[in-house]
Amino acid sequence: MTKTQAKKVIEKIRKEINLHNYRYYILNEPILSDFEYDELYQQLVDFENQFPDLITPDSPTQRVGGEPLKEFQSVTHSPLMLSLDNTYTYDELKEFDTRVRKIAPKVSYIVEQKVDGVAVSLKYQDGKFIQGATRGDGVTGDDITINLKTIISIPLQILTKDKSLNTFEIRGEVFLTKKQFAKLNQEREEQGESLFANPRNAAAGSLKLLDPRIVAQRKLDIFVHTIPRPLSQAFTSDSQTLKILQKAGFKIILHSDLFESIEQVIEYCEQWKEARHKLPYEVDGMVIKVDDYQARLKLGDTQKSPRWAVAYKYPPMQATTKITNIIFSVGRTGVVTPVAKMTPVFLSGSTISHSTLHNFDEIKRKDIRVNDTVIIEKAGEVIPQVVKVITDKRTGKEKKQPLPTRCPVCHSKLFREAEEVALRCVNASCPAQIKGRLFHFASRSAMDIEGFGWVMVNTLVDKKLVKDFADIYHLKYDDLIKLERMGDKSVNNLLQAINNSKTKPYSKVLFAFGIRHIGIHAARLLVFNFPSIDKLSKAPFDSISSIKGIGSAVAESITNFFRDKENIELVNRLKQIGLNFTETSTTPVKSVFAGKTFVLTGALKNYTREKATELISQLGGNVSSSVSKKTDYVLAGTEPGSKYTKAKSLGVKIITETDFDKMVKPQ
């Protein structure tokens, strides 16, 4: 193939991929299965590898690219990135309406959800995404183009040939869904890292990362809402602009409506007050904007905000209480987390007596002191947190809690790693870390040793019966029977559970070690690529980090782990005990299965339902009982049921048992 021919083919595939992304991420109406999409994407990768000069920055393959940055460049906003005036009562909304109607008597309002995320600006030139920035102070922000490119709902190339959308700026809100937020925090907890307080902080923190590969894993999303300076006559109102933007490939906030009167606006705000909790993303209010652009021009802006728009903020679920102490808890990777102890207070359904303060920067930023009266809030109905200190209630008895310099448990010196806000105890023999590691090792998702929960871990470590994983397997009947509340039956059950855990596969053992950044998925990928621990322990950084789905953080963490002699000794002791350190199964995790959701319907020839389910999960996939747009494959046997029809109507990929066999064992 000549270069000119290749250019044509590459452009055609890119266009197709852009369209499929649009259907999937913006319209929620995919027509390709993930398998077919992956094939198409791979074709593009292959062509681009063959003709590297044809790679352009707007190619879908270039979303996660480039080396980590050292720092962000500054971007000046023109026009300024204004903010919105907030209102908290419907009376204030009526006052806003009166102000508007004095200048523009006959306006309609477009009312949109106020998405709780991070404001960004996106610039396009000749229909291509060229620069993206944070709001910063409204005058200058950070150039975070490489991070924004990882957001698949930001089109790198505009889909329509509309002249009005050729060179322009658009502003929107980057956010993390509640589900992604929960997943991210769970992973961070598993890895002993400090937690994000809410989805907005998590989105903001992610956009500030200097390595776009990590940003890509966060799966950020965006809604666009404003063209700050509509340059063309084509745009006459917001409602019409949004339609054009959606056609061009942007994701707009779907829940919006036009209203003639402020009473109707208020009714709409009221409708979303409770309903917003069911949305997949956080909404903290509604934005009320004059729809017509001529009217907007007439109304103009103040120094800080436009006169044609206002935000109505929903009241949060809050309570007032007093902080009685700030203590420090040490996780299994040594991260020290400050926790506020409070006078117990009832807040939407439960009594709250403590709340994580997340990290030390949070204490400093909010200036939280012992004896302070504070407002606490349940954000997104999840964990309670301290919103702010009521400084008016200070009496002079408040005490700043100094940063700990030593671990509260083992008293060794604490360290702060570059780029991290967390303080860390680096003494691997710290009892708090030992306990955390043992608890994780025995937990259900790891070695699954029933009866080896927090109480048992605390007792065994305090009595110095166990200090590492291998010690668990040397516990004797006589050791355990002496413990409080342990009878003959519970001791035997525990010993049996410990013994049974020896059959856990290598991937679970590797995950159970609790090495930083190694979740179960990474463990499976590592085991697939290095089927024995001897191979893994000798693998150089580059050969680990080059595995698809494994980043440099994992590779660094693994190589660090095996650099430590004590860890090697521990592995050797566990080998002697009989734990699995090689992948003997003929079905290692396969990337075509990794993270994919299967639904089974009809009868299969060679597998029972249970066997097929087990096989899929061993290969890294999930099995679900119902078909939705999120289903990747429906495996249909003979006489399939309604799931088959549903899959057809949703365009979900349907595979036969023969297709499935080929995926399991490709020729």
Nearer to ligand IVH, 173 or 190 (CB): 173
Burial degree of 564 (CB within 10 A; 0-12, 13-18, 19+) = exposed
Show the tokens assigned to 293. 């652009």
- Kindly tell me which residue out of 290, 299, 309, 544 binds ligand IVH, with binding defined by CB under 6 A: 309
Segment interacting with ligand IVH (CB under 6 A) among 76-84, 457-465, 512-520, 656-664:
76-84
The sign of the CA dihedral 126, 131, 137, 140 is: negative
The DSSP line for 74-103 is EEE-SS------EE-SHHHHHHHHHHHHHH
Regarding 173 and contact with ligand IVH (CB under 6 A), the answer is yes
Segment interacting with ligand IVH (CB under 6 A) among 46-54, 95-103, 110-118, 514-522:
110-118
Regarding 238 and contact with ligand IVH (CB under 6 A), the answer is no
Regarding 84 and contact with ligand IVH (CB under 6 A), the answer is yes
Regarding 114 and contact with ligand IVH (CB under 6 A), the answer is yes
Instruction: Report DSSP state, residue 115.
Output: E
Least Å from the CB of residue 123 to ligand IVH = 16
Q: Which residue has the tokens 């992304």?
A: 21
Task: Say if CB 158 and CB 127 are below 8 A apart.
Answer: yes
Segment interacting with ligand IVH (CB under 6 A) among 43-51, 107-115, 322-330, 584-592:
107-115
Q: Collapsing DSSP states into helix, strand and coil, what is residue 290?
A: strand
Nearer to ligand IVH, 289 or 358 (CB): 289
Segment interacting with ligand IVH (CB under 6 A) among 81-89, 375-383, 388-396, 512-520:
81-89
Interacting positions 252-281 with ligand IVH (CB under 6 A)? 253
Which residue, among 26, 293, 284, has the nearest Cα to 178 in the 3D structure? 284
Regarding 132 and contact with ligand IVH (CB under 6 A), the answer is no
Query: How many helices and strands, by DSSP H and E, does the chain display?
Result: 25, 24
Segment interacting with ligand IVH (CB under 6 A) among 112-120, 143-151, 155-163, 331-339:
112-120
Nearer to ligand IVH, 203 or 652 (CB): 203
- Kindly tell me which residue out of 287, 342, 434, 635 binds ligand IVH, with binding defined by CB under 6 A: 287
Least Å from the CB of residue 385 to ligand IVH = 20
Nearer to ligand IVH, 120 or 510 (CB): 120
Regarding 115 and contact with ligand IVH (CB under 6 A), the answer is yes
CA distance 442 to 457: 9
Which residue, among 621, 659, 625, has the nearest Cα to 641 in the 3D structure? 625
CA distance 364 to 368: 7
Least Å from the CB of residue 412 to ligand IVH = 44
Interacting positions 451-480 with ligand IVH (CB under 6 A)? none
CA distance 266 to 624: 41
CA distance 349 to 646: 39
Phi, psi values for residue 165, rounded to 5°: -115, 65
Q: Which residue has the tokens 């409602």?
A: 239
Binding flags for ligand IVH, 288-307, as an x/- string (CB under 6 A) = ------------------x-
Nearer to ligand IVH, 226 or 557 (CB): 226
The DSSP line for 142-165 is EB-HHHHTT-TTS-SB-SS--GGG
Least Å from the CB of residue 614 to ligand IVH = 45
Least Å from the CB of residue 23 to ligand IVH = 24
- Kindly tell me which residue out of 10, 82, 422, 554 binds ligand IVH, with binding defined by CB under 6 A: 82
Give kind and range of the element (H or E) at residue 336. Answer: strand 335-347
Least Å from the CB of residue 91 to ligand IVH = 20
Binding flags for ligand IVH, 201-230, as an x/- string (CB under 6 A) = ------------------------xx----
The residue length of the chain stands at 667
Q: Collapsing DSSP states into helix, strand and coil, what is residue 655?
A: strand
Q: Choosing from 7, 94, 106, 114, which is the catalytic residue?
A: 114
Which residue, judged by CB position, is nearest to ligand IVH in the bound state? 119
CA distance 370 to 139: 37
The DSSP line for 470-482 is HHHHT--HHHHHT
Show the tokens assigned to 142. 């950070």
CA distance 620 to 4: 41
Binding flags for ligand IVH, 310-329, as an x/- string (CB under 6 A) = -x------------------
Least Å from the CB of residue 290 to ligand IVH = 11
Least Å from the CB of residue 479 to ligand IVH = 59
Regarding 83 and contact with ligand IVH (CB under 6 A), the answer is yes
Task: Say if CB 367 and CB 386 are below 8 A apart.
Answer: no
Nearer to ligand IVH, 113 or 618 (CB): 113
128 is catalytic: no
Cα angle 503, 505, 508 (rounded to 5 degrees) comes to 115
Give the active site residues: 114
Binding site for ligand IVH (CB under 6 A): 82-84, 112-115, 119, 173, 225-226, 253, 287, 306, 309, 311
